[in-house]
Amino acid sequence: MSTEHASGSSAAVLRIEGELTIFRAAELKDILLGDPAAQEIDLSAVTEIDTAGLQLLMAAKQAATAAGRTLRLVAHSAAVIEVFELLNVAAYFNDPLLVEARK
């Protein structure tokens, strides 16, 4: 499990790898709500997410809004999409959520 924080030309991108669960909540809280704040969070490598992980994402979005910043969630993994759909929270983040057609 690792978390990368890379700076692009104008936006800080945070890439979360592995679990986004209660077992990593303390570690991830400092990163998600820390300074410098990410403008984009890449969720493509998230293998598992629970309600604690979802709460962290919601707190990061709320903190960004309160600070007058934009925070985007991108590249949602299958695990993230499953939880977002189950709990019907995609609209809260106001980001496009690409869902592949199920066969």
83 in any annotated domain = yes
Helix, strand, coil % in the chain, rounded to nearest 5: 40, 25, 35
pLDDT, one tens digit per residue, over 2-19 is 455 554 444 588 899 999
CATH of the domain at 65: 3.30.750.24
pLDDT, one tens digit per residue, over 17-66 is 999 999 998 888 888 888 778 889 999 999 999 999 999 999 999 999 99
CA angle 18, 64, 26 (to 5 degrees): 40
Tokens standing for residue 35:
């300074």
60 in any annotated domain = yes
102 in any annotated domain = no
Query: How do strand 3-7 and strand 12-20 relate by DSSP bridges?
Result: antiparallel
Amino acid at 34: G
pLDDT value at residue 12: 82
Return the SS3 of 53.
Answer: helix
Range of the domain at 8: 3-93
Q: Enter the pTM of the model.
A: 0.81
100 in any annotated domain = no
